[in-house]
C-alpha cells in the first residue's frame, strides 16, 4: 500500500463500529493483482473529543458524517512506510490535522504528506504512542485504555487474516499474510525486524497488561481471544 490517492476515492469498506468506549474501527479492501487485501482503520476519541485516526481510509460520505459526529479529526497517524494510500486526501480534507509517523518511516511518508511529528502529544494519558522497539521506528503502535480494558493497535507487524479463500487467499497464504493464527509475516520480519530481542521484550511487556482485551491489526481480524497468550506466542516466534 505504498501508492497514494490524489482525490477522495472510496474503495469498498464496511461501516464504522464502536468496539469499546471511545474506540471505532472500520474495515475495507484494496484490489490488488489476483487478490483483495483487507485493511483496517482505527479511530480513538480523546478526552476532549478530538480524534486520532490510525491508518486512514477514505470512507463514503455517510460514514464520514458519522465519524465527524463522533469527534473532531485532529491527528492523522500514518503508522508505517506503506500505509499512506489515503493520507494525502485526508490531510486535504482536514488541513488542521497533525500528521504523525514513526521516525523510521518519515522519509517514505513524506513522499505523500508532510509529517508534523514523530512523537505526537495527544494530551490524554489514556492513549499512548509507541515507536515499536526492534523495528528501527518503522512501526507505530497505540495503547488505548478505556473503561472496557486496554486495546493494543498494531499496523503491519502482525497479521491475522483468517478464512482466506480462492486463488487470492492461496496467494495471501503463500506470501505469509494469511494463516490460522496471528503471526509476524516472514516478509515483514525480514524487512522490519532489525532487533528481534528488543521486539520480543516489548511483546512480552504488552502481554503483561492485565486488562488487555484485544489487539487490532491493519490486516486481519481483531485478536480478542486470549490476546496475552497471542503476544507470548508471537514473542516466542522470534527466538
Average pLDDT per consecutive 10 residues, the chain (239 residues; last block may be shorter): 80 96 95 76 98 98 98 98 92 98 96 97 98 97 96 94 62 66 85 94 98 95 96 95
Name the DSSP letter for residue 212: E
Q: Write down the pLDDT at residue 1.
A: 46
Q: Write down the pLDDT at residue 181.
A: 83
Q: Write down the pLDDT at residue 36.
A: 74
Q: What is the C-alpha separation between 197 and 199, in angstroms, rounded?
A: 5
Q: Write down the pLDDT at residue 149.
A: 97
Long-range contacts at 162-168 (CB < 8 A, ≥ 24 apart): 162/220, 162/221, 167/34, 167/35, 168/34, 168/35, 168/36
Orientation of helix 196-207 relative to helix 227-236, angle to 10°: 160
Q: Which CATH architecture has domain 17-236?
A: 4-Layer Sandwich (3.60)
Name the residue with cell 499512548: 128
CA-nearest of 104, 103, 96, 107 to 74 is: 96
Q: Write down the pLDDT at residue 31.
A: 77
Amino acid at each position: 500500500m505504498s501508492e497514494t490517492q490524489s482525490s477522495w476515492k472510496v474503495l469498498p469498506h464496511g461501516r464504522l463500529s464502536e468496539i469499546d468506549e471511545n474506540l471505532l474501527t472500520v474495515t475495507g479492501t484494496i484490489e490488488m493483482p489476483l487478490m483483495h487485501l483487507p485493511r483496517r482503520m482505527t479511530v480513538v476519541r480523546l478526552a476532549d473529543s478530538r480524534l486520532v485516526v490510525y491508518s486512514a481510509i477514505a470512507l463514503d460520505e455517510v460514514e464520514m458524517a458519522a465519524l465527524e459526529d463522533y469527534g473532531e479529526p485532529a491527528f492523522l497517524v500514518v503508522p508505517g512506510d506503506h500505509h499512506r494510500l489515503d493520507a494525502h486526501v485526508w490531510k486535504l480534507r482536514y488541513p488542521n490535522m497533525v500528521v504523525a509517523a514513526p521516525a523510521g518511516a518519515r522519509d517514505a511518508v513524506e513522499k505523500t504528506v508532510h509529517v508534523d511529528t514523530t512523537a505526537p502529544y495527544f494530551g490524554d494519558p489514556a492513549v499512548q504512542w509507541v515507536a515499536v522497539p526492534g523495528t528501527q521506528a518503522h512501526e507505530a503502535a497505540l495503547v488505548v485504555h478505556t473503561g472496557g480494558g486496554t486495546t493494543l493497535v498494531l499496523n503491519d507487524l502482525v497479521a491475522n487474516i483468517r478464512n482466506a479463500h480462492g486463488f487470492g487467499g492461496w496467494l495471501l497464504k503463500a506470501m505469509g499474510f494469511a494463516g490460522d493464527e496471528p503471526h509476524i509475516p516472514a516478509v515483514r520480519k525480514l524487512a522490519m525486524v532489525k532487533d528481534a530481542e528488543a521486539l520480543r521484550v516489548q511483546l512480552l511487556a504488552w502481554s503483561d497488561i492485565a486488562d488487555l482485551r484485544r489487539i487490532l491489526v491493519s490486516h486481519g481480524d481483531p485478536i480478542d481471544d486470549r490476546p496475552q497468550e497471542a503476544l507470548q506466542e508471537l514473542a516466542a516466534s522470534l527466538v
